[in-house]
Amino acid sequence: MASKKNEKLKLEIAKELGLLEKVQKEGWKSLSAKETGRIGGLLSKRRKSG
């Protein structure tokens, strides 16, 4: 399970990508593999940069 810090960061990234409303209405499972990959890639990048 994601930590609260990671969950907050995931939501921030989803908002930046214009996906927050979709996530809030339909949940994370509603995202395509491409959308999920974009969020995961940015999440990983931000964790590495501190």
Asked if residue 4 is part of any domain, the answer here is: no
Round to whole Å and give the CA distance between 33 and 27. 14
Which of 49, 23, 46, 48 has the alpha carbon at shortest distance from 35? Answer: 23
Is residue 37 a contact partner of residue 4, using CB atoms and an 8 Å limit?
A: no
Q: What is the pLDDT of residue 2?
A: 64
| The overall pTM is greater than 0.75 | yes
User: Is the pLDDT assigned to residue 50 strictly greater than 80?
Assistant: no
Residue 35 placed within a domain: yes
Distance CA 28, CA 20 (A): 10
Domain that holds residue 34: 12-49
Q: What is the mean pLDDT of residues 5-33?
A: 96
**Residue 5 belongs to a domain:** no
Q: Is residue 1 part of a domain?
A: no
Q: What are the backbone angles phi and psi of residue 15, rounded to the nearest 5°?
A: -65, -45
Quote the number of domains for the chain.
1
In one letter, which amino acid is 26? Answer: E
Q: Quick check: is 7 in a domain?
A: no
